[in-house]
Chains A and B, each alone.
Chain A
Amino acid sequence: MSSFEIVLFKYKDFWLMGLKYTMLITVLSILIGIVLGLLFAIMRIYGNKFFKAVAVSYIDLIRGTPMIVQLFILYYGLGSTGLVKFTPLQAAIIGMGLNSGAYQAEYFRTAFLAIPTGQTEAALSLGFTRTGLIFNILLPQVVRIVLPSWTNELIALTQYSSLAMVLTVMELTAVSKYVGSKTFLYIQAFSLAGIIYLFVSVVLTRLMVYFENRLSIPGVSAQKLRI
Chain B
Amino acid sequence: MIFDVSALNLSNLIYVLRGIFWTLFLTFVSIGLGLILGSALAFGEVYLPPPFSYIFRIIGEVLRGVPLILLFLILYFAFNLGMTLSAILGLGLRSASYQGQIFRSSLEAISAGQLHAGLSLGMTKFQVFKEILVPQALRIMIPGWTNEFITVLKDTSIAFVLGVMDIMTRADFIARSIGRYFEIYIFIALVYFVLVKTSMSILNNLYERVRIPGLGEKR
Taking Cβ atoms with an 8 Å cutoff, the residues of A that contact B are 61, 64-70, 72-73, 76-81, 83, 155, 158-163, 165-166, 173, 176-177, 180, 186-187, 190-191, 193-194, 197-198, 201-202
Identify which of B33-41, B67-75, B109-117, B207-215 touches chain A.
Answer: B67-75
Q: Is the CB of B186 within 8 A of A77?
A: yes
Q: Is the CB of B182 within 8 A of A197?
A: no
Q: What distance in Å separates the Cβ of B144 from its nearest Cβ neighbour in chain A?
A: 14
A-B contact pairs, 14 of them (CB 8 A): A65-B189, A66-B155, A68-B158, A68-B168, A69-B168, A72-B185, A73-B189, A78-B182, A80-B181, A159-B66, A162-B67, A163-B158, A194-B74, A197-B65
Q: Is the CB of B66 within 8 A of A186?
A: no
Q: Is the CB of A70 within 8 A of B70?
A: no
Q: Is the CB of B65 within 8 A of A162?
A: no
CB < 8 Å: which of A155, A162, A198 contacts B69?
A162
A70–B168 CA distance with the chains assembled, in angstroms: 11
Q: What distance in Å separates the Cβ of A116 from its nearest Cβ neighbour in chain B?
A: 19
Q: Taking CB as reference atom, which chain A residue is nearest B94?
A: A159
A194–B74 CA distance with the chains assembled, in angstroms: 10
Q: Is the CB of A69 within 8 A of B192?
A: yes
Beyond A72-B181, A161-B67, A197-B67, 13 additional pairs, beta carbon < 8 A: A68-B158, A73-B185, A80-B182, A155-B65, A159-B65, A173-B69, A177-B77, A186-B73, A186-B78, A194-B70, A197-B65, A198-B65, A202-B65
A66–B182 CA distance with the chains assembled, in angstroms: 16
Q: Which residues between 83 and 140 of chain B lie within 8 Å of chain A, taking CB atoms?
A: none
How many residues on chain B are close to A (CB under 8 Å)? 35
Q: A66-B168, A69-B189, A194-B62 in contact; A76/B70 too (CB < 8 A)?
A: no
Q: What distance in Å separates the Cβ of B118 from its nearest Cβ neighbour in chain A?
A: 32
Contacts of B61 in A (CB 8 A): 198
Q: What distance in Å separates the Cβ of B19 from its nearest Cβ neighbour in chain A?
A: 12
Q: Is the CB of A76 within 8 A of B66?
A: no
Tell me if B148 is interfacial: C-beta within 8 Å of chain A. no
Q: What distance in Å separates the Cβ of A207 from its nearest Cβ neighbour in chain B?
A: 15
Chain A: interface secondary structure? helix
Q: Is the CB of B73 within 8 A of A190?
A: yes
Q: Is the CB of B66 within 8 A of A197?
A: yes
Q: Which residues between 169 and 196 of chain B lie within 8 Å of chain A, taking CB atoms?
A: 172, 175, 179-182, 185-186, 188-189, 192-193, 196
Contacts of A83 in B (CB 8 A): 2
Contacts of B193 in A (CB 8 A): 61, 64-65
Q: Taking CB as reference atom, which chain A residue is nearest B192?
A: A65
Tell me if B18 is interfacial: C-beta within 8 Å of chain A. no
Q: What distance in Å separates the Cβ of A158 from its nearest Cβ neighbour in chain B?
A: 8
Q: Is the CB of A162 within 8 A of B70?
A: yes
Tell me if B160 is interfacial: C-beta within 8 Å of chain A. yes
Q: Taking CB as reference atom, which chain B residue is nearest A174?
A: B69
Q: What distance in Å separates the Cβ of A177 from its nearest Cβ neighbour in chain B?
A: 6
A76–B180 CA distance with the chains assembled, in angstroms: 9
A73–B186 CA distance with the chains assembled, in angstroms: 7
Q: What distance in Å separates the Cβ of B62 from its nearest Cβ neighbour in chain A?
A: 7
